[in-house]
Amino acid sequence: GQQVMQIPQYQHVQEGEDFTTYCNSSTTLSNIQWYKQRPGGHPVFLIQLVKSGEVKKQKRLTFQFGEAKKNSSLHITATQTTDVGTYFCAGRGNTGKLIFGQGTTLQVKP
Amino acid sequence: DVKVTQSSRYLVKRTGEKVFLECVQDMDHENMFWYRQDPGLGLRLIYFSYDVKMKEKGDIPEGYSVSREKKERFSLILESASTNQTSMYLCASRGDRVPPYNEQFFGPGTRLTVL
Burial class (CB within 10 angstroms; exposed 0-12, middle 13-18, buried 19+) of A94: exposed
CB contact under 8 A, A43 and B106: yes
Task: Tell me what pLDDT residue B100 has.
Answer: 62
The answer to whether the peptide bond before residue B100 is cis (omega within 30 degrees of 0) is yes
pLDDT band at B99 (very low <50, low <70, confident <90, very high): low
Sign of CA dihedral A44, A67, A102, A77: negative
Give the Å distances, CA to CA, from B102 to A27, A55, B20, B29, B114: 19, 18, 27, 11, 33
User: Is residue B40 scored above 90 in pLDDT?
Assistant: no
Which pLDDT score, from 0 to 100, does residue A34 have? 97
Q: What is the tens place of the pLDDT at every residue in B70-98?
A: 999 999 999 999 999 999 999 999 987 76
**Per the CB < 8 Å rule, is B106 touching A42?**
yes
Q: What pLDDT, on a 0 to 100 scale, did the predictor assign at position B49?
A: 96
Interface residues of B toward A, Cβ cutoff 8 Å, are: 35, 40-45, 48, 58-59, 90, 100, 102-109
Question: Could you give the percent of chain A with pLDDT greater than 90?
Answer: 91
Burial class (CB within 10 angstroms; exposed 0-12, middle 13-18, buried 19+) of B25: buried
pLDDT in tens, A24-69: 999 999 999 999 999 999 999 999 999 999 999 999 999 999 999 9
Compute chain B's Rg from CA coordinates: 13
